[in-house]
Amino acid sequence: EAKSASRGRAVSYSEALRTQANERELIADRLRHAVDTGGLEVFYQPKVIPENGRIVGSEALLRWNDEVLGQVSPAKFIPIAEERGLIAPIGRFVLQRALNDTKHLHEEGLHTSVAVNVSPAQFQEETFIDETIGTVSESGVSTEKVELEITESSLMDYSDTVLDRIRPIREKGVKFAIDDFGTGYSCLSSLANMPFDTLKIDRSFIMDIATCADRRTIVELIFIMAHQLNLNTVAEGIETPLQKDYLKLWGGTLGQGFLWSPAVAFPEYRAMILAQSVGAVKTEVASALH
């Protein structure tokens, strides 16, 4: 009896694996289709100065609404894209689109920055350096308005190649951020010499600051360290006024989160930036008249 029960478990386990493999296969097929037919979209989530709520730029985030699968999260399809060799064309598309949209804003006098996520697999291609520098310079967006985000955990896996390929791009003025900081176990002493401008504190830490003193301590140490190393900080996942106040208290450079806005389509993002610049002009005119 015990034997057949364990055999039953073994069967259902392998069935589960098969189902999972089929699902990944289906996602990979549909993704390939989306890449070929322009089915991927780029949304923008504002990055905000916590003191006054001003939007200074955004993070570009992929959105995919498939006819068959519905909305699929990038957290789900990016790893599959990496595995199936689809990340290079997808990465190219996101960078190109983000630069294009940003260029339009700049032409309207709206000088926002933009951050694009880069997967470690993209760095494996030798052409990555020249291609990235070429794309940014051809876009007409000045390099210091462009930031590339790389997760802390991927830095640990591939650190040598990745760091070597970051440096020449950064020398052109492009900024680099370590994403999801705090979730990996990077060597803190090497952080001082790393080619980065910004630490993005992972949402899981921000989530816990109201309730967990230990996690709060870690966030505070990150703020102190970033300050000492002259690194900007971006706190991810700001959802409550309390989290925002905490960010102000610790002098965090920027915040990003649902308290201000989720990622939105470009026209909506542009409208937010326009509204804020119209507001600023109104204030100027009003004070000039007084």
Span interacting with ligand C2E, options 117-125, 212-220, 223-231, 264-272, rule CB under 6 A: 117-125
Residue 181 CB, nearest approach to Mg ion (Å): 8
Residue 92 CB, nearest approach to ligand C2E (Å): 11
Helix (H, G, I), strand (E, B) or coil at 257: coil
Q: Considering only residues 113, 180, 198, 201, which one is a binding residue for ligand C2E as defined by CB under 6 A?
A: 180
Residue 286 CB, nearest approach to ligand C2E (Å): 33
Strand partners, 213: none
Return all residues near 216 (Cβ < 8 A) that are at least 6 apart.
208, 209
Cα dist from 107 to 92, 100, 111, 148, 257, whole Å = 23, 11, 8, 22, 27
Binding of residue 252 to ligand C2E (CB under 6 A): no
Binding of residue 273 to ligand C2E (CB under 6 A): no
Binding of residue 117 to Mg ion (CB under 5 A): yes
Between CA 199 and CA 40 the distance in angstroms is: 28
Binding of residue 213 to ligand C2E (CB under 6 A): no
Cα dist from 173 to 48, 140, 166, whole Å = 22, 13, 11
Cα dist from 270 to 50, 102, 110, 236, whole Å = 20, 9, 9, 21
Residue the block writes with tokens 């392998």: 14
Binding partner of residue 112 among ligand C2E, Mg ion, none, CB under 5 to 8 Å per kind?
Answer: none
Closest-approach residue to ligand C2E (CB): 257
Q: Considering only residues 101, 147, 152, 179, which one is a binding residue for ligand C2E as defined by CB under 6 A?
A: 179
Considering CB under 5 A, how many residues would be counted as binding Mg ion? 4
Helix (H, G, I), strand (E, B) or coil at 240: coil
Q: Considering only residues 112, 132, 198, 256, which one is a binding residue for ligand C2E as defined by CB under 6 A?
A: 256
